[in-house]
A and B are shown apart, each in its own frame.
Chain A
Amino acid sequence: MSDVSDEVLAARLQGGDHHALALLMERYTRKLLQYGARLLPREPDIDDLVQDIFITVYRNIQDFDPTRRFSPWIYRIAHNIFVDTIRRRHKESVRFFEFDRLIPHPVYHDPTPQEKEDAEMRVLVQKGLEHLTPAYREIIDLYYFENFSYREIADILHVPIGTVGIRLARAREALKSHIPEREINQE
């Protein structure tokens, strides 16, 4: 069953196959636990939240379109649950109004060569992620750890693609401002 796509499993779940749910959970539990741990580093009950994500997936599975990719869909649900949790339980502020969604932005591409940037980003992310706001932590996580495209991140966060680009660029800058250059080069 490992070669069966997420979308096929989701379609089987829509048909009432609970074994498909077990397989989907097998594939996504650890990923979502890590996503939650990075987004809510001080939350002790990430496992309860991940459980809520799967329950929400099951409740809403008929709303999923199997012709589209499953992973952005489940991450959209995870995003909503994690952000709600930050708003309810944590003192960390999450803006109800996102100013970077206000005006159109061109899709921003960092001119730094990808390979160098990836090595540099690994250091930055390991050392500096906790210093970022939840919005910046999340976009870094979705792009660098979950490997989603700009378009998929736009669908997960419900923001324009240009906003993904600008938010990612600002998150990188915020990371770099927290970690001195010499610490990056030492690694």
Chain B
Amino acid sequence: MNEHNDNRIAHDIQENVLRKVEEGTVRSHSRAFFMVRFVGTITVAVLAFLLSTFVVSFIFFSIHESGEQFLLGFGGAGVLTFFELFPWTSFIIDIALLVLLEWLLQGFKLGYRVSLVVIFVGIFGGSALLGFLINLTPLHTTLLGLANKGELPIVGSVYESIRDCHASQGVFRGSIIALAPGQITLTHQDSDRDGDDGTWTVVLPPGSGPFSLGERVYVFGPLVDGRIEAQGVEPLPTDQF
């Protein structure tokens, strides 16, 4: 481009833009437009964070309520089963919410001046900490109670899934109805929608117990011919099913 050509192109650009502005074919957005957009972005970001926090607290609650945290103490097979039964759907939803939040924050200096990993770890850590604190409140226990009575719409089935039977993975819960040296008899009769009702003889691993009649326990081990070869047995808190 030579000097004359450059000048002509620059002049044409300026003329075209000014003409569109003067004719009103291009209009300027009002301050209110940007204010609404800003408030909308902040609102969506806050909602995404709160929802993420709720989902994390549900993950903590479901692991505790189902007793699956005991699996981590039952050796390699227990750890594998823990990850198999981990509420991955909730976890993926949480990650998706955090990615949305991180994307929304990129519009702000705070969001883009910090590296992606640092900001992700920051919001994930904040969400996990708040989620853990919410888990200590009676919120989820109350929601589980409503779900059990069929009074919790939309997410009721998610709460009920905490009670799902995992016999095929070697996970059993129930009350002790008989004690014998090296073994116990376990029964579970909650008559709910899942198929975890039954009575089993549990061969105890060395060093477990002592247990008492009526005590509720969490058992991990394969079911072979009606007998559970337990690799781990832990007493459940009395408030757990």
Query: Which residues of A line the B interface, CB within 8 A?
Result: 18, 21-22, 25-26, 29-30, 33, 47, 50-51, 54-55, 58-63, 101-105, 154-155, 158-163
- CB-CB nearest in chain A for B111: A158
Bound-state Cα–Cα, A143 to B68, Å: 56
The answer, among B10, B28, B114, for a CB contact under 8 Å with A62, is: B28
User: Are A33 and B12 in contact, with the CB atoms below 8 A?
Assistant: no
- CB-CB nearest in chain A for B114: A160
User: Are B115 and A29 in contact, with the CB atoms below 8 A?
Assistant: no
Q: A51-B13, A59-B27 given as contacts; is B109 within 8 A of A18 (CB)? A: no
Chain B residues with CB below 8 A from A58, complex form = 17, 21, 26, 28
Sample (23) of A-B pairs whose CB atoms are under 8 Å apart: A22-B18, A25-B13, A25-B14, A25-B18, A29-B10, A30-B10, A47-B9, A50-B13, A54-B14, A54-B17, A59-B26, A62-B34, A63-B34, A102-B115, A102-B117, A104-B115, A104-B117, A104-B118, A154-B112, A158-B112, A160-B112, A161-B113, A163-B115
- CB-CB nearest in chain A for B118: A104
User: Are B13 and A54 in contact, with the CB atoms below 8 A?
Assistant: yes
User: Are B14 and A22 in contact, with the CB atoms below 8 A?
Assistant: yes
Interface assignment of B106: CB less than 8 Å from any CB of chain A: yes
Interface assignment of B225: CB less than 8 Å from any CB of chain A: no
User: Are A62 and B9 in contact, with the CB atoms below 8 A?
Assistant: no
Contacting residues of chain B (92-151) with chain A, CB-CB under 8 angstroms: 106, 109, 112-118
Interface assignment of B239: CB less than 8 Å from any CB of chain A: no
Bound-state Cα–Cα, A47 to B34, Å: 28
User: Are B17 and A55 in contact, with the CB atoms below 8 A?
Assistant: yes
- CB-CB nearest in chain B for A48: B13
User: Are A29 and B14 in contact, with the CB atoms below 8 A?
Assistant: yes
- Size category of the B interface is 20 to 34
Contact with A along B1-41 (1 / 0, CB 8 A): 00000100110111011101110001111110110000000
Q: A29-B14, A33-B6, A55-B17 given as contacts; is B115 within 8 A of A103 (CB)? A: yes
The answer, among B10, B115, B116, for a CB contact under 8 Å with A33, is: B10
Chain B residues with CB below 8 A from A50, complex form = 13
**Given A50-B13, A104-B118; 8 other pairs, CB 8 A cutoff:** A21-B17, A22-B14, A30-B6, A33-B9, A62-B29, A62-B33, A63-B29, A102-B117
User: Are B115 and A21 in contact, with the CB atoms below 8 A?
Assistant: no
The answer, among B9, B12, B117, for a CB contact under 8 Å with A103, is: B117
User: Are A159 and B14 in contact, with the CB atoms below 8 A?
Assistant: no
Interchain nearest-CB distance for B111 vs A (Å): 8
User: Are A60 and B29 in contact, with the CB atoms below 8 A?
Assistant: yes
Q: A102-B116, A160-B113 given as contacts; is B14 within 8 A of A59 (CB)? A: no
Interchain nearest-CB distance for A83 vs B (Å): 14
Interface centre among B14, B30, B31 (most CB of A within 10 A): B14
User: Are A26 and B14 in contact, with the CB atoms below 8 A?
Assistant: yes
Chain B residues with CB below 8 A from A59, complex form = 26-29
Chain A residues with CB below 8 A from B6, complex form = 30, 33
Bound-state Cα–Cα, A162 to B116, Å: 12
User: Are A101 and B115 in contact, with the CB atoms below 8 A?
Assistant: yes
Interchain nearest-CB distance for B238 vs A (Å): 47
Chain A residues with CB below 8 A from B16, complex form = 51
Interchain nearest-CB distance for A38 vs B (Å): 13
Bound-state Cα–Cα, A50 to B9, Å: 10
User: Are B21 and A18 in contact, with the CB atoms below 8 A?
Assistant: yes
User: Are A159 and B9 in contact, with the CB atoms below 8 A?
Assistant: no
Interchain nearest-CB distance for B192 vs A (Å): 45
Chain B residues with CB below 8 A from A62, complex form = 28-31, 33-34
Chain A residues with CB below 8 A from B33, complex form = 62
Contact with A along B28-63 (1 / 0, CB 8 A): 111101100000000000000000000000000000
User: Are A160 and B115 in contact, with the CB atoms below 8 A?
Assistant: yes
